[in-house]
Amino acid sequence: MENIKQELIDHTLVLTINREKQLNALNKTTILELSQALDAAAENSEVKAIVITGAGEKAFVAGADIKEFAHFSVEEGASLSAQGQDLLFNKVEQMNKPVIAAVRGYALGGGLELAMSAHVRVASTDAKLGLPEVGLGVIPGYGGTQRLAQLVGKGKAMEMIVTADMIDAQDAYQWGLVNHVVEAEQVLEKAMAIAKRTQRNSPIAINAAMKAVLANYTDGVNGYEAEIAAFGECFGTEDFKEGTSAFMEKRKAQFPGK
């Protein structure tokens, strides 16, 4: 792939956005390549978790590629947003395995939106996060108006969006926008450790639990009912038999992932 580096390390797929000179800005090719990598990872049983990061020390991702969309029409703008959400941002959120964003430096616009689509976020102490779109005469278009409010609440989301200001890692941590803040050199390591930690658990149950959490944010779906249905389905899985048997036999579970 042109703009994505992929490495499978101990069952964790590390996807590195590799456009360092452009601060890893998300152009069409990068979005498509990430989308394809995620499709393949979803089907690959060797991949148990995914870490998304950006190349270099300066930026996770500095946003959608402004140079690419600067001359777009109304229709092209709408389709940029719709296609991006469909190909990448919703796909990350709906992945069947945990996705962890490892954020160093700038996570702006589409970059913060990508991190917010992930299930867990780790940021460096020098990270800067924001949705600067209104300063460009546009609005967050990759789910930012929705996911930021879900993570930090309406009041703080409104402030970040209308001021277009960046916040630092400490504020992001206090506001619940990131799960962990660590030194820059430890961001990837921390993200990998969380990915590894999930691998002791049933992949089927993890997928079902993540879907149940997301049900609350899906129009027309009752999260409690989704939880009941998913809970019940777990009882028909081999993972459930293995997990409960292992507990009773006082041994570590070896989940078949079925």
Which residues make up the interface to ligand CAA (CB under 6 A)?
Answer: 22-23, 25, 62-67, 106, 108-110, 113, 132-133, 136, 140-142, 144
Question: Catalytic residue among 2, 68, 113, 183, which?
Answer: 113
Dist CA 133 CA 144 (whole Å): 10
In the structure encoding, which two tokens stand for residue 54, read together? 């950006």
**Count of C-beta atoms within a 10 Å radius of residue 87:** 17
CB of 80 to ligand CAA, least distance (A): 7
Structure tokens at 133: 């779109």
Shortest Å, Cβ 111 to ligand CAA: 7
Tell me if residue 133 is catalytic.
yes
Nearest distance in Å: CB 84, ligand CAA: 6
DSSP state of 251: S
Cβ proximity to ligand CAA: between 136 and 193 the closer is 136
Q: Which is nearer to ligand CAA, 71 or 251 (CB)?
A: 71
Whether 238 is a known active-site residue: answer no
174: DSSP letter = H
Considering the complex, state which of residue 78 and residue 213 has its C-beta at the smaller distance from ligand CAA.
Answer: 78
- Look at strands 167-168 and 128-130 and give their pairing: antiparallel
H-helix segments, 4-122:
28-43, 66-69, 74-84, 90-93, 110-117
Among residues 64 and 101, whose Cβ is nearest to ligand CAA?
A: 64
Q: Which two tokens stand for residue 31?
A: 């979005």
Question: Burial, 6: exposed, middle or buried (Cβ in 10 Å; 0-12, 13-18, 19+)?
Answer: middle
Q: Which residue has the tokens 């081999």?
A: 238
Q: Which is nearer to ligand CAA, 98 or 109 (CB)?
A: 109
Of 75, 72, 73, 59, the C-alpha closest to 26 is: 59
Least CB distance to ligand CAA at residue 63 (A): 3
Min dist CB 15 to ligand CAA, Å, is 19
Shortest spacing between CB 26 and ligand CAA, in angstroms? 7
C-beta closer to ligand CAA: residue 58 or 196: 58
User: Across-strand partners of 6?
Assistant: 15
Choice among 75, 133, 189, 249 that is catalytic? 133
Closest CA to 212 of 194, 236, 228, 233: 228
> In angstroms, rounded to a whole number, what is the distance separating the alpha carbons of residues 191 and 103?
9
Active site residues: 113, 133
